[in-house]
Amino acid sequence: MKKYISIISSLLLVVVLFSSCEDKKFQTYIANVPVYMTYDDLRKAVKVEDPTPMLEPGKIYFKDNYIFINEYMKGIHVIDISDPSTPTAIAFINIPGNVDMAIKDNILYADSYVDLVLIDVSNPLQAIEVNRIDSILSYTLPPYDFDYPLAQIDNKEGVVTEWLIEEYKQEINYNPYPWGVYYEYDMISSKAPTRNVVSGGGDSYGVGGSMARFSTYDQYLYMLEESSKLKVIDISDIDAPEVTYDKYVGWGLETMFIYDDYMYLGATTGLHILDLEYPDNPIKTAEYSHVTSCDPVVVSGNTAYVTLRSGNMCGGTADLLDVIDVSNKSNPYRIASYTMNEPYGLGISGTTLFICQGDNGLVVYDATNNLSIKNNKLAEFPDIHATDVIPLDTLLFTIGEDGFYIYDYSDVEDIVFLSEIKVAE
């Protein structure tokens, strides 16, 4: 043993004596190599273009007679639904790095990598950027191939728009405490791949689905960031928006739903309830914990409906619908739980509950009796892919990997398919 220690000590001494004198050392390997867009180019990129085919639809939002559909990390499709039986794509708003959106009055608030962009959409065919808050959001990365390491990222070069799988040469750095070789990587989080009922404004506010991370209320824009923080921005003056709140709320935050002057945040480990009596400074009233899982939430009356999905980056093994009594905002509790089949987003209209089930389509229940929801199935649409819904008046707007669908549910006993816009082959 003493001989072994002596050898190691001798080797370390060699490193001490000669490492500072040697030339820099490099290692070459196959990696995700970043492709950058400069900040100057990013901040000149927002523009209206002719309609383009949907390829990777994400979040969905309704305002007036238009549906806004996010094209993941690319921008927003604008769909005219004045005739729901014939939805028409009329424009595409190019917004690099866009994932989330919300609308108040005629201003669209959209993320664009690290920036928040304000776009006047009073005439979507002539949508124009009216303001931008630079570098208000965290530096995020597009999805990458987990089979290969990330090459070193320099956020001074700009934002990463895509990756090339190719040979990469990187300097090896020596660190004397502890002895050994390590690689320097910037630890930058990858952005995780919206019916919010909001009060106080008639037609001033749009409506999002249950997967929303942005929402508007009163004179404020709310944004979830870094899976743990809530940002509140005073947008009463669009020429001078101001951050009023930027705090840690809880870990694993995913979705936001505002209802009856309260904010409900779905997280991987539970449901957070925040009081909006002072909308510039939300106050947490309670946290309901559940098994680890992805969980969008919607609320009607004194009941919150939460879907829990397993087999994804959120972790967990449960596929459930939890029904939670939120009549006491300081003490929510579960009143029922149902096994589901890969549930995603959901929507509630009166007592009609719509649940998206990914590859398993859309299922509709009568939730009049929360203790027997699974016994009261109204309809099922298994032939579509469904990730989120917006139920509005008598129309249901559904989005999924294969396209956008509109249904008429004026008669819940006879829900009628009206139209679709399919994802391009």
Whether residue 201 sits in one domain with residue 146: no
Please indicate, yes or no, whether residues 153 and 42 belong to a single structural domain of this protein: yes
172 and 275 in a common domain:
no
Tell me if 118 is assigned to some domain: yes
CB 48, CB 125: distance < 8 Å: yes
Both 80 and 226 in one domain: the answer is no
**pLDDT digits over 206-225, tens only?**
999 999 999 999 999 999 99
Give the structural domain span for 93. Answer: 26-193
**CATH value at residue 296:** 2.130.10.10
Are 185 and 202 within one domain? no
What's the whole-model pTM score? Answer: 0.86
Cα(137)–Cα(238) distance, rounded to whole angstroms? 18
DSSP state of 66: E
Q: What is the pLDDT of residues 85-100, one digit of tens each?
A: 999 999 999 999 999 9
Binned at pLDDT 50, 70 and 90, residue 8 comes out as very low
pLDDT of residue 313: 54
Q: Does one domain contain both 166 and 200?
A: no
Average pLDDT of 13-35? 67
Mean pLDDT of the chain: 87
Whole-number percent of the chain with pLDDT over 70: 84
Decide if 206 is inside a domain: yes
Contact 321, 343 (CB under 8 A): yes
Same domain, 138 and 207: no
Q: Is the same domain home to 124 and 258? A: no
Pair (152, 287) in one structural domain? no
Domain shared by 176 and 314, yes or no: no
Q: How many structural domains does the chain have?
A: 2
- 240 and 366, same domain (yes or no): yes
Q: Is residue 15 part of a domain?
A: no
Collect all residues with Cβ–Cβ distance below 8 Å to 383 and sequence separation of at least 6: 361
Domain boundary, last residue among 172, 193, 214: 193
Flag whether 20 is in a domain: no
| Residue 248, in any domain of the structure | yes
Q: Identify whether residues 120 and 136 lie together within a single domain.
A: yes
C-alpha dist (Å) from residue 116 to 71, 97, 243, 256, 398:
17, 10, 12, 18, 26
